[in-house]
């Protein structure tokens, strides 16, 4: 295993800033350090664009350059800042099935139109439609009058992960303070329930965008 200094150096060497066109910022990586070590026969390109309007766009492209099939899972782990976890409401997941990792991956159906978080949450919402009311997931923080909007492109990210470790698990996470669970929630598009399989020469692309709307009143 490489030291942290060599890891940082490797990461810096594979990020390249590209012309931003109408965007405020655009960077691309032809790989990431973990992939260099583990996925030697698979190319990954990760592009991040920050638009002038503040929208953050991310695209991951994975290509199988080997002569054997390759299976993987993928998740955008969006750690969103919260004024207080009790102020968070998640919209866009009602009446959808999810796997609850706290309940041995049993399958349930979401009932709350504005999903609150009152305890540990570790769920994967399954086959979330990419159109209609489920095209975007809204994470409202009425403590700050802020709404995060997460939007997927296409059907390559059919699942939505929702996670907060809550009190006891936060204490066991080395890079998280004991009280930091109060100030965050993880919500991200994913392809985890049905892993993606790429045959030789095939490629997969997963895209998401995140925008923030600030309001003076309640967003929930």
pLDDT in tens, 124-175: 999 998 766 556 899 999 999 999 999 998 889 999 999 999 999 999 999 9
The pLDDT value recorded for residue 191 is 97
The pLDDT value recorded for residue 17 is 59
Q: Is residue 144 part of a domain?
A: yes
Whole-prediction pTM value?
Answer: 0.82
Q: Is residue 100 part of a domain?
A: yes
Domain that holds residue 10: 1-54
The pLDDT value recorded for residue 130 is 74
Per-residue pLDDT of the chain (220 residues; tens, 9 = 90+): 233 333 333 434 445 555 555 555 556 666 544 444 455 677 888 889 988 888 999 999 999 999 999 899 999 999 999 999 999 999 999 899 999 999 999 999 988 778 899 999 999 999 998 766 556 899 999 999 999 999 998 889 999 999 999 999 999 999 999 999 999 999 999 999 999 999 999 999 999 999 999 986 555 5
CA angle 189, 36, 207 (to 5 degrees): 20
Q: Kindly state whether residues 39 and 82 are assigned to the same domain.
A: no
- What CA–CA distance (Å, rounded) separates 97 from 166? 22
The pLDDT value recorded for residue 148 is 97
Count of the separate structural domains present in the chain: 2
Q: Identify the helix (H) or strand (E) that includes residue 206.
A: strand 203-214
Q: Kindly state whether residues 117 and 169 are assigned to the same domain.
A: yes
The pLDDT value recorded for residue 111 is 85
Q: Is residue 60 part of a domain?
A: no
Q: Identify the helix (H) or strand (E) that includes residue 36.
A: helix 33-38
Check which CATH number belongs to the domain holding 80 and give it: 2.70.98.10
CA angle 81, 156, 68 (to 5 degrees): 120
Q: Is residue 63 part of a domain?
A: no
Q: Kindly state whether residues 123 and 16 are assigned to the same domain.
A: no
Q: Kindly state whether residues 41 and 98 are assigned to the same domain.
A: no
Residues 182, 171 contacting (CB under 8 angstroms)? no
């Amino acid at each position: 295993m490489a030291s942290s200094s060599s890891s940082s150096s490797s990461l810096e060497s594979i990020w390249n800033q590209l012309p931003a066109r109408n965007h405020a910022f655009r960077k691309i990586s032809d790989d990431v350090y973990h992939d260099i070590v583990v996925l030697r026969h698979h190319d990954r390109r990760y592009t991040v664009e920050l638009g002038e309007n503040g929208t953050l766009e991310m695209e991951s492209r994975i290509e199988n350059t080997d002569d054997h099939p390759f299976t993987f899972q993928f998740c955008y782990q969006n750690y969103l800042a919260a004024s207080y976890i009790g102020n968070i409401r998640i919209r866009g997941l009602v009446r959808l099935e999810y796997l609850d990792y706290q309940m041995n991956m049993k399958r349930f159906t979401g009932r709350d139109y504005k999903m609150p978080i009152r305890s540990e949450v570790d769920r994967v919402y399954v086959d979330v439609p990419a159109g209609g009311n489920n095209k975007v997931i809204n994470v409202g923080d009425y403590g700050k009058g802020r709404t995060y909007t997460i939007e997927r492109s296409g059907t390559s990210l059919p699942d939505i992960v929702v996670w907060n470790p809550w009190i006891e698990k936060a204490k066991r996470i080395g890079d998280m303070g004991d009280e930091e669970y109060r100030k965050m929630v993880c919500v991200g598009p994913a392809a985890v329930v049905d892993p993606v399989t790429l045959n030789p020469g095939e490629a997969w692309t997963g895209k998401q965008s995140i925008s923030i709307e600030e309001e003076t009143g309640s967003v929930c």
